Amino acid sequence: MSATALAEPASPVFPACAHCGAPSAPGARFCCSGCAAAFEIIGGLGLGTYYRRRVLDPAARAPRPDDSPPRHDLAAHVRSHPDGSHEMSLAIDGLQCGACVWLIEQVLAREAGVLTGRVNMTTRRLRLVWTGAAGRADVLVGRIEALGYRLIPFEPGALAAADDRTGRALIRALGIAGFAAGNVMLLSIGEWAGAMQDMGPATRSLLHWVTAFLALPAIVVAGRPFYASAIAVLRRGRTNMDVPISVGVVLVAGISLADTLAGGTHTYYESALMLLFFLLLGRVLDHRARGRARATAERLLALRGAEVTVALAGGGSERRRAETVAIGDRVLVGMGERIGIDGVVEAGESSLDASLVTGESLPVRAGPGMKVFAGTVNLGAALTLRVSAAGSGTLLAECVRLIEAAEARRGRFVVLADRIARAYVPVVHVTALTTFLGWWVLGGAPAGQALLIAASVLIVTCPCAVALAVPSVQVIAASRLFRQGVLLKSATALERLAEVDAVAFDKTGTLSEPALALEAVEPARGAALADAARLAAAIRHPLAPALVAAAAPGLAADGVTEHPGAGLSWTGPAGETRLGSREFCGIAGAAAAGPELWLTRPGAAAERFGFVERPRADAAAVIARLRAAGLAPRLLSGDGPGAVARMAAAVGITDWAAGLTPVAKVARIEAWAASGRRVLMVGDGLNDGPALAAAFVSASPASAADLSQTVADLVFQGEKLGPVADALTLARRARGVMRQNLALALGYNAMIVPLAASGLVTPWLAAAAMSASSLAVMGNSLRLARG
């Protein structure tokens, strides 16, 4: 993506930057420090020389203005990791375009010890990771400020305020164009009515001059975003969609002014103003759509920066930023408070609104031993949590990383639409020139009339609808999937999902629930279950959460001793209580087929607790839904045949394989691919990583291992499989809408261009028709937002 595409105009009244074409301050040659530096570096100075002269040399650094705000205390915002590295997120004031991003990243890459220095253009955030002393933060920030930028701790609210200023500037330009267009149309009505009643030349000329004084300033001010962009790309020997727009507007306004000066009978100021009004309306809507996309990541980032209440070891509590909390700390969460860390409930029982994390609208229960995630809201009683992850280690932070990782990628349809739009502009210019020469040279029409017809061709053939055809679909589809709990890691995932004709599932943690469930316990065994749960709550064994969840709420026992690989013991007044394996508890006989724990207590009979693997609640319904859609569901598992057969029968899969190694899973998928199948692999374990990478497209639940989530093309939240089927269905719909949009945009031009070239479409009608095609494409795309 070019720097011009990244640099959205911040104000419609400033001149264009000499490097990227973005708006710059009055009298300034460049819009930002990045463009000024890029101009010097590309012009022959070189990056190494620039770095030494402009960054390392104190005398050449950009001085901080006397009235600039003091630098923030960066130490409070540095997060230290166990491996000795340090991390900090900063907002960059003055970031304008891709040149800024390139310059900052190149300067940081030359700093010793910097592991990561990445700038996100959308959120204007710098993520900085380095080794050495934490105090180096001031040095690294000074390097960037030497370039002319100002760095502050990342606050999405401040960035949103700057984004609002851009939106207000566009709305002001839209208001100017609309106000002028409305008044000019009123004056035109008077002129048209007077023409039918023998209006005198003097009166008509007066109306033309009044219209000119009203229209021309509005055309200059409201059209500056288009003019600046057109001039910038022409200087670099390129064209874009703003070139034919600018030429058309200038032609119409120039012909109208010439007719006004000559005392002619016809002017077309209203056509130029209406064109600008419709185009600015599209820009305003596009700006708001992009703002909603940015808000997704910024909202998550804002939640990460929330404060939490930490219980102190000596009593009392204090408020801290979530990213500064240490693993193992105890955090208190009151009613109505949003949880700022990942953790395990230590005390209390409540309901949580987990819609942000899982996409589920219904509240979920939270009790002792249950894991909770940052971003969820406590709807009930107070909870005490033991921190398991904070800051960049939370699930919420991973959501942000997944969103940002997918941000810069492009799909096949996006590339196709961009290529069409790039090739389209020269064709438009040739068509308009041919139309002008045809009417003027061959048709004998006056030059003014020929220019008006050529301007109409320029306007109606603007490829805005082509450029919107695919991105609008992808933004809307990705937003809807996010609301349903699906995060797309790759822009091509949506297109590949639409072509899937077979789905392969892993068993454990994918078709089944992530944790084993406790077999039914008779009420008479309630006391035994409560005692077992009190011991289990003290450890992090895979079977412990099932015991704790099945028992009545209670506190963990104090003084529990863990015997690795065997079980737990606790000594009370009556003697020793044990919870663990059959051998540890002294139970004779052969072990059961499934997982089990035994409980022995003084003076009581031994109690057995069995555990079963249950399919996800909607697994059978999802398998049936996939089969009805013409997809072939399969089950690939490394577990034994008995367990795999039971799970396959429970969910309705007839094609299954057991005892597969990771290599064997890959071989199965490659064999299906060789036969022409396009397989979606859904898995969660480390052993599923190779199969996920080998599949045509892949998905993992949010509970999956880090490797699986890294390899997968999409990650779905929640305890159900429904999001997988929803993503497949929406992907197929999105592919159809993309094709419809491209056909609609190209078909519109195939129909309207001959009419414009034949002189049947006036400039104002051309503007309306061009805007109508863009609105039609957007309207067609918005169908995806509905069910």
Q: Do 94 and 25 touch, CB atoms closer than 8 A?
A: no
Identify the burial level of 468 via C-beta atoms within 10 angstroms of its C-beta, where 0-12 means exposed, 13-18 middle and 19 or more buried: buried
Q: How many angstroms separate the CA atoms of 779 and 774, rounded?
A: 9
Report residue 89: phi and psi, to 5°. -115, 130
Number of helices followed by number of strands (H, E) in the chain:
26, 27
Q: How many angstroms separate the CA atoms of 751 and 713, rounded?
A: 40
Sheet with 364-366, strands from edge to edge, namely 364-366, 350-353, 377-378
Nearest 5°: CA angle at 221, between 218 and 9? 140
Question: Alpha helix (H) ranges present in 15-55?
Answer: 33-40, 47-50
The helix (H) or strand (E) run that includes residue 428 is helix 412-437
Regarding beta strands 342-347 and 307-311, do their DSSP bridges make them parallel or antiparallel, or are they unpaired?
unpaired
- 593, two tokens: 């087929």
Catalytic pick among 506, 639, 688, 713: 506
Identify the burial level of 35 via C-beta atoms within 10 angstroms of its C-beta, where 0-12 means exposed, 13-18 middle and 19 or more buried: buried
* CB atoms inside a 10 Å sphere around CB 692: 29
- Alpha-carbon distance values, 341 to 345, 347, 422, 671 (Å): 12, 16, 47, 44
- Sequence length of the chain is 787
DSSP assignment of 693-747 equals: HHSSEEEEETTS-HHHHHH-SEEE-SS-SHHHHHHHHHHHHHHHHHHHHHHHHHH
- Alpha-carbon distance values, 139 to 45, 79, 135, 145, 237 (Å): 24, 16, 8, 10, 40
Does 506 participate in catalysis according to the annotation?
yes
Catalogue the active-site residues: 506
